[in-house]
Amino acid sequence: MEECREEGKNFQELVDLVERLRRECPWDREQTNLSIKDNLIEEAYELLEAIEKDDREGMVEELGDLLLQVVFHSQIKKDKGQFDINTVIRNLIQKLIRRHPHVFENVDYQALEGEDHLKKWEAIKQKEKKRRSILEGIPDRMPALMRAYKVQKRMAKVGFDWENPQQVLEKVEEELEEVKNAKTEEELKHEIGDLLIAVVNLARAYGINPEDALHRSIDRSIRRFQYIEEKAREEKKDLKEMGLDVMEQYWQEAKSKGL
């Protein structure tokens, strides 16, 4: 109980601090929900990086930064007389209770498999949101690769899916041919989009998150290119003077070293 009181005290101190900053700091006072919206995305990605690195100190800092965004956005709305952080918290509490009837109501979900739990969760969300489509609620601003993955997973839940990975491989090959045969820039844009969708489906068919897979490939590319840069420094050469053949040689060398 003492710990709960301490948490409540700390949280209220944060809310009061943000309210004071909005009154007394010229920069904080002029901010709007729109002006700071990108900060929310940036802080979320910094937290994600800390989680993936299992950086505990980083997680403490980034969770705090993300919490600040929630409190700040709520304070802006409070200043306009629309809602405050307590409204946000109460809404969240009510939603959690509604979506966990097996915990808060006399509903026995113990016999259900994990997938059935997810279906129940989705059914409750559909009812709450009064959605006419299972694809509603996926944010338009979500990164495209992640959005494609989420859309495909939703469609797969009702059986709209490939039967096996081989079928998806064939679809990837088909889309690649259509890219090769595109005649205009608009057609090329269309077909490359379809090819990317097919590749996302392929990753999903093998149980791989395409966003994670692409991030790992990007990390490898960065390490290998930095190896090329190091070689250029050792040889006292400008990268532009090194030449593609030499850079490719060092790229393969970095690859053989497991970079």
Can you tell me the distance from the alpha carbon of 259 to that of 255, in angstroms, rounded to the nearest whole number?
A: 5
List, for residues 218-237, the tens digit of each pLDDT value.
999 999 999 999 999 999 89
Q: Which CATH class is domain 144-208?
A: mainly alpha
Q: What is the mean pLDDT of the chain?
A: 90
List, for residues 175-184, the tens digit of each pLDDT value.
999 999 999 9
Can you tell me the distance from the alpha carbon of 50 to that of 177, in angstroms, rounded to the nearest whole number?
A: 40
pLDDT at 130 (0 to 100): 73
List, for residues 46-103, the tens digit of each pLDDT value.
999 899 899 999 999 999 999 999 999 999 999 999 999 999 999 999 988 888 877 7
Is the pLDDT reported for residue 138 higher than 80? yes
Is the pLDDT reported for residue 121 higher than 70? no
Is the pLDDT reported for residue 2 higher than 80? no
Q: What is the separation, in whole angstroms, between the first and last Cα of the chain?
A: 51
Model confidence, pTM:
0.68
The SS3 assignment for 155 reads: helix
Is the pLDDT reported for residue 114 higher than 60? no
Q: Which CATH number fits domain 2-98: 1.10.10.60, 1.10.10.10, 3.40.605.10, 1.10.287.1080?
A: 1.10.287.1080
pLDDT at 36 (0 to 100): 94
pLDDT at 158 (0 to 100): 87
List, for residues 164-220, the tens digit of each pLDDT value.
999 999 999 999 999 999 999 999 999 999 999 999 999 999 999 999 999 999 999
Q: What SS3 string covers 160-172?
A: CCCCCHHHHHHHH
The SS3 assignment for 72 reads: helix
Can you tell me the distance from the alpha carbon of 159 to that of 155, in angstroms, rounded to the nearest whole number?
A: 7
The tokens for 125 are: 């969300």
